[in-house]
Amino acid sequence: MRPQNLNCVSIVLIAASLCHSVHSQLQVGFYTTSCTLAELIVKDEVRKGFFKNPGVAAGLVRLHFHDCFVRGCDASVLIDSTSSNKAEKDSPANNPSLRGFEVIDSAKARLEAVCRGVVSCADIVAFAARDSIEITRGLGYIVPAGRRDGRISQASDTFTNLPPPSFNVDQLSKLFANKGFTQEEMVTLSGAHTIGRSHSTAFSNRLYNFNRTSRQDPSLDPQYAAQLKQQCPQGNTSPNLVVLMNPASPAVTDTSYYADILANRGLFTSDQTLLTNSATANQVNQNAKMPFLWRTKFATAMVKMGRLEVLTGNAGEIQANCRVINS
């Protein structure tokens, strides 16, 4: 069977499985009659954002992850802080690293112009993440919709719900398990680090201040460490100093991330730690060797993530502006 046919078969299989496994209150084609062009409008805004800056695709995937892991997929990560409340987007886990907000804003403005009060910000985030994976040559998947937007966004909620780059494999497994994911799904979703960038502050301790006995993380490839030191000089805390997560193909959703880990070139402790456990190490090896299988598993795991603690029906609201709770 030819590769393109395999892609089609996989998408069909994923779609078929969704009919049985999707959360009963979310529906594929949710906006078919209420806002026919909803998904196409979001896709168009993602495309325009990507051609301006290819890195925005990784930002939108991360935006979805950081939204869903805190209070569920309710777009609370988009809400701006006020004088009386510090919102999720301004927590250390999200600021200044989260990006892609302008793409969501543009899509929402267009949707409000043609279907006022119909399409939720939470669904826009979910669609945009899928479209970002597709535009970076990942496997497409169907996004069931019908999410509604949350009215609560607190920076403090990010502290226990989002994994820092310093987590080890046991800490990662526990956090993902708390969200309903298996250890294999955790390894699969970690592959999102195949695209995008990181601020040097997220990994500089591995270069200069690892522990009491070693200034540099001994699990880090020395040549790679030397390269990172050139890019991130000791003591530099500039928010503009960033490096590519996967230098070989930073704008392609592929399995280079896993190849990097096998070469001891995982950028974060939370990446390289996947080799310290026999089960996760086997999954890293499998994903590196079987890219199509990983892409299929990743698409399925993204659909599952998009169902985390969703608000549907009369819960939540449909925000007119994704940055502001309706008055």
* Residues with catalytic roles: 66
Calculate the alpha carbon distances from 300 to 19, 48, 184, 185 in Å.
13, 26, 12, 9
Smallest CA-to-CA distance from 88 within 147, 173, 150 is with 150
The encoded tokens of residue 250 equal 């930073």
Smallest CA-to-CA distance from 37 within 124, 150, 126, 162 is with 124
Residue 240: CB atoms within 10 Å: 8
The encoded tokens of residue 298 equal 């990743």
Q: Please list the alpha-helical segments (H only) found in the chain.
A: 3-21, 38-52, 56-68, 101-114, 121-135, 169-178, 183-190, 205-208, 222-231, 256-262, 269-272, 278-289, 291-305
Q: How far apart are CA 315 and CA 253, in angstroms?
A: 34
Distance of CA 290 to the CA centre of its chain: 21
The encoded tokens of residue 198 equal 């990181």
DSSP character for 276? S
What interhelical angle do 121-135 and 38-52 show, nearest 10?
Answer: 50
Q: How far apart are CA 271 and CA 265, in angstroms?
A: 9
Smallest CA-to-CA distance from 139 within 12, 282, 26, 41 is with 12
